[in-house]
A and B are shown apart, each in its own frame.
Chain A
C-alpha cells in the first residue's frame, strides 16, 4: 500500500540558508500535518492542512511557511535557518481528524 512520501530524507544546510521539505500524502487522505521532532523529544505539531486550506497552526516559527497544492502534496518552507532548527521533520496524513495518522519516514535536517 502507498505510504506518505517525504523528500529529501536528509538535508544539510548552513545557517541563514533556506530549505524546502516535500510531502506526498496517501491518496484520498484529506488532511496533512507537519511535525518537528528534536532528539529525544516528542513530535511537536507545526501546521496542518485540510483540503488544501490551513486548518490548524501549532508552534511553527514565523520563518517557516507551508502550503498544500492542488495535487495535495505539501511543502514546508524554512528560511533564515538556525542551528536549533536541526531536527527530524515528519509529515503525516489522515482521512479527517477522527482516524489514525500515517507518518512519513521524515526528513532529517541538519543546520551547520
Chain B
C-alpha cells in the first residue's frame, strides 16, 4: 500500500545547530503538508507544497518538495529550544478509493540549550 516514510525517528541537537527531517513516498504525491506537534499539544499545520521542486521558507524553516514529487524535506537553521516537538509530513496521494492523506511517523526533535 501507499506509504510515507519519515526519517530520522528522532534527533538530538545542540541549540544553534541545524536540523533536517526527510519524507519519502512510495507513490507520487499531489501535495505534501508539514505539521508540528509540541509535547502535550496537537499537530499544527505549517505549510503545504504542491509544485515539483517547490521551495518555501518560513523564517528559519525551509521546506522542499522533490522534482518527482515523491520526497520532501524540512530544514531548520540554527535551532532554538522553541523548535522542540515532533514534525510530521503528510502526503496527499491518489489511491483506489480516491485521494488519501498519509502521515509519516514523525521526527521528534530534542534541542539542548
Contacts and interface: CB of A to CB of B under 8 A. Distances in A.
Contacts of A105: 41-42
Contacts of B105: 42
Interface in A50-96: 55-56, 90, 92
* Secondary structure call for the B interface: strand
A98 B45 contact: no
A34 to B, nearest CB: 13
A104 B90 CA distance: 17
A104 B61 CA distance: 24
18 contacts: A42-B86, A42-B103, A42-B104, A42-B105, A42-B106, A43-B88, A43-B103, A45-B103, A90-B43, A97-B92, A97-B99, A97-B100, A100-B33, A100-B47, A101-B35, A101-B90, A103-B35, A104-B42
